[in-house]
Structure 1
Amino acid sequence: MLTTQQALDHLLGHALPVNESEKVTMQEALGRVLAQSVNSLVDVPPLDNTSMDGYAVRTADTQTPGSVLRIAQRIPAGSVGTTLEPGTAARIFTGAPIPPGADAVVMQEDCSIPEGSVDQVQVNIAPSQGQWIRRKGEDLNANKPALLAGAFLRPQELGVAASAGLTHLQVKRRVKVAAFFTGDELALPGEPLKPGGIYNSNRDTLLACLRSLGCDATDLGIVPDRLDATRQALRKASKDHDLIITSGGVSVGEEDHIKPAVTAEGRLDLWQIAIKPGKPLAFGAVRKSESPADGEAWFIGLPGNPASSFVTFLLFVRPFILKLQGREEKLLQSYWMRADFDWLKADRRNEFLRVKMNAQGGLDLFPNQSSGVLTSASWGDGLVDCPPNQPIKAGDLVKYIPFDALLK
């Protein structure tokens, strides 16, 4: 069986970023991937300015604590002052430009007004040059990069683009993913359950995962456990999508039709991966038409058990999609944390245990780690990456991967 890393390397070795892009407004850009690097139109800030309410001064006039200066001008944000003459100070407010001649700001808490005075300030400290001054261009420089191609556009990236004076961004088109679900036992919530039937939890879980990653996700519903129906669903899904994902039917039983269907409609690797939950995983491609020139849609078949399907999506489908999107590569966030549980029945496979941080700064283990128990993922806030054949004792440091790092 392949290791987790071997399987992931195989997937990512095939993924190529989509090429098409479109120009969108800032309000349409959230959750998209920047297709072209963009330069700032302006310096940010445009002038040296104060980061505090207080008084702009010349340090040459304030070398001795208690120096008294005449207040010669008042500069609110959005105004520009005049040259600061020796022996004077400027009343200044956060964000206002530093007047020429001033080389420090003293915050108002370090100043006082002499009794009976209306135009003087006593500076009670000796400020250093540059104190509380934000320099021109210290955030962004005009005609220099503000955001680089491949950036995933979160609220903070959009704020940077706005401060750079940009109104539109060239973004990659959304990756188009079709999903369908196999199993004659499946029913949708709201439908009556037949004997032996279960509700399809993978549909809502996986579609939500896809949309949380910024994909254009198409739900093709539940496909009957028949080879012809599975082939028909693959042909439909391949035409207008970059990727097809399924859950269920990737084993080798008589009712598992994914392998022969994908083989007939394209090509397939069927793997046994040394992980738990989620051993069976299928990867391949489906022809978009009989003409090779029309290309292929990638295919990833996930296990049918809900916890297995969810975990394998996070570990394999998510990074594959990120590469299709052309996102800049970042290391997966993980942390060494203390296990407040025992896991003594070490498995020969790489296990991903559903856990939750506790108030004591450690990790608690969900008591039932079955591949069919999706409540373990709802209860938990992350996974422990447990290497093969490695038991865990309370107090051991373990590798913790938060779900928040896997769903964005």
Structure 2
Amino acid sequence: MVQLSSDAFAFGGDLMPVEDALALIAARVPPVTETERVGLTDADGRFLAADLIASIDLPVFDNSAVDGYAVAYADLAADGPTVLPVGARVAAGQAALDAVARKTTARIFTGAPMPQGTDTVFMQEDVTVGDDGSVQLPPGLRKGANCRPRGEDIARGSVAAPAGRRLEPRDIALLAALGVTSVEVRRRPRVAVFSTGDELRNPGQALGAAAIYDSNRFSLQVMLRRAGCDVTDLGILPDDRSVTAERLDAAARSYDLIVTSGGVSTGEEDHVRAAIAANGSMVFWRLGIKPGRPLAMGIINGTPLVGLPGNPVAVFVTFAHVLRPLVTVLAGGRPAPLVAMTVLSGFDYKKKAGRREYVRVSLERSDGGAVAMKYPVDGAGVLTSLTRTDGMVELSEACTAVRMGDPVSYYAYNQLT
């Protein structure tokens, strides 16, 4: 289980920039140390524990990329077509031929090994076959055309996939092509999820007076599983300081990370911060992000705890931009920077300097490109502002206003979870 010292982080300012928080996380959060070996089809989404070294060349041998005719480039005429007899035939799966006779060509098929001495392949549709079986090869083809040389893709002994890489289907294809059957990956981080508040009820329960259904715990479980975690739902923490402290302390002894929603503000019924103080230390709790405040990170018995806000939109935003990178580090990977799409603003907007803001938008197409249209209701508790939009526009800390037609940075929701 991951263990942090209580002084692993420090911050004493008013609002911590998001980038500073991410830099602290990347530098100080140690990954889970346990590893396991899994088969290729079970490796999707897992983080490699060590560099995977290619044990063979890929391709294993020089081979043809097309159906056609293999020749020695030196046998081609320099100033016009070349007519050569066909001296051999080689198909995919057939052993490589000995050298073909000089001034002859070999009929060859895609994936077949190049006969010794040949280095260039003419596509069959570019070749004219004579009545006597000879072939006329047009001029102008470069040496080595349509030939895939041994080791062109990856050379034996080189790194096929580095430690910390999150394996995807394209990686699985490469590893299978190298003959790999299983890989050593980091154990999935074990994450405990709580919601907080006496007003919360589970879906399916009777609501009663002044109660609401809990949505955060369910979205968090799904997003954390998508991020590669083993997630345990530990239910709803009551508005009771001692009970909250006791249950968080117990979770810290069994999990690599604790995630809560709600209870991290300064109200009299917000007990998560007090529980952190009682059993550990606070790292930070005021980030310059909107929606997303307050967001707390602390350490309880060496285990990191992230206390997200109670509003569901703020939970989504802070998961995407803070919690998901932390989980990636915890799992043994390196967070990949998000790449924004530039679109045009379809709205006017003012904001305070010093905090990063995310505006929920729908994209519309126009002659000038994609236009981001702001959702009319932008409260952090409005779930339909997520379900009826396409993504978010990011406004930097330095930005104080956006006018209609300005270029802005846009992230689609499928980039964020």
TM-score by length of 2: 0.89
CA shift at 1:270, angstroms?
5.1
1:102-117 correspondence runs (5 A): 102-114=118-130, 116-117=131-132
Which AA in structure 1 matches 2:126? D
Name 1:88's counterpart in structure 2: 104
Q: Distance in 2 between matches of 1:318 and 1:40?
A: 31
1:50-129 correspondence runs (5 A): 50-63=64-77, 65-79=80-94, 80-114=96-130, 116-117=131-132, 119-129=133-143
Q: Distance in 2 between matches of 1:160 and 1:328?
A: 21
- Indicate if the aligned counterparts of 2:71 and 2:121 stay in contact, CA closer than 8 A: yes
Name 1:257's counterpart in structure 2: 271
Name 1:308's counterpart in structure 2: 314
- Indicate if the aligned counterparts of 1:151 and 1:327 stay in contact, CA closer than 8 A: yes
1:181-260 correspondence runs (5 A): 181-260=195-274
Residue 374 (structure 1) aligned with residue 383 (structure 2): yes
Which AA in structure 2 matches 1:240? S
Q: Secondary structure at the match of 1:177?
A: strand
Name 2:416's counterpart in structure 1: 406
Which AA in structure 2 matches 1:390? T
Q: Indicate which of 4, 20, 23 corresponds to 2:34.
A: 20
- Indicate if the aligned counterparts of 1:338 and 1:398 stay in contact, CA closer than 8 A: yes
Q: Secondary structure at the match of 2:251?
A: helix
The change in CA–CA distance for 1:18 and 1:105 in structure 2 (over 3 A counts) is same
TM-score by length of 1: 0.91
Runs of 4+ in 1 over 6 A off after TM superposition: none
- Indicate if the aligned counterparts of 1:62 and 1:127 stay in contact, CA closer than 8 A: no
Q: Secondary structure at the match of 1:272?
A: coil
Gaps of 5+ in 2: 1-14
Q: Distance in 1 between matches of 2:30 and 2:404?
A: 43
1:168-187 correspondence runs (5 A): 168-187=182-201
CA shift at 1:13, angstroms?
4.1
1:254-403 correspondence runs (5 A): 254-269=268-283, 271-287=285-301, 296-335=302-341, 337-348=342-353, 349-360=355-366, 361-362=369-370, 363-388=372-397, 389-403=399-413
RMSD: 1.9
- Indicate if the aligned counterparts of 1:53 and 1:107 stay in contact, CA closer than 8 A: yes
Percent identity reads 39
Deviations, residues 232-268 of structure 1 (Å, cap 9, x unaligned): 3213321221110000111111211111122222222
- Indicate if the aligned counterparts of 1:59 and 1:127 stay in contact, CA closer than 8 A: no
Q: Distance in 2 between matches of 1:13 and 1:130?
A: 47
Which AA in structure 2 matches 1:41? S
Q: Distance in 1 between matches of 2:21 and 2:102?
A: 71
Deviations, residues 272-292 of structure 1 (Å, cap 9, x unaligned): 2222101101111112xxxxx
- Indicate if the aligned counterparts of 1:339 and 1:393 stay in contact, CA closer than 8 A: no
CA shift at 1:300, angstroms?
0.6
CA shift at 1:26, angstroms?
1.5
54-63 or 317-326, larger mean C-alpha shift? 54-63
CA shift at 1:65, angstroms?
4.3
Q: Distance in 1 between matches of 2:377 and 2:334?
A: 36
Gaps of 5+ in 1: 288-295
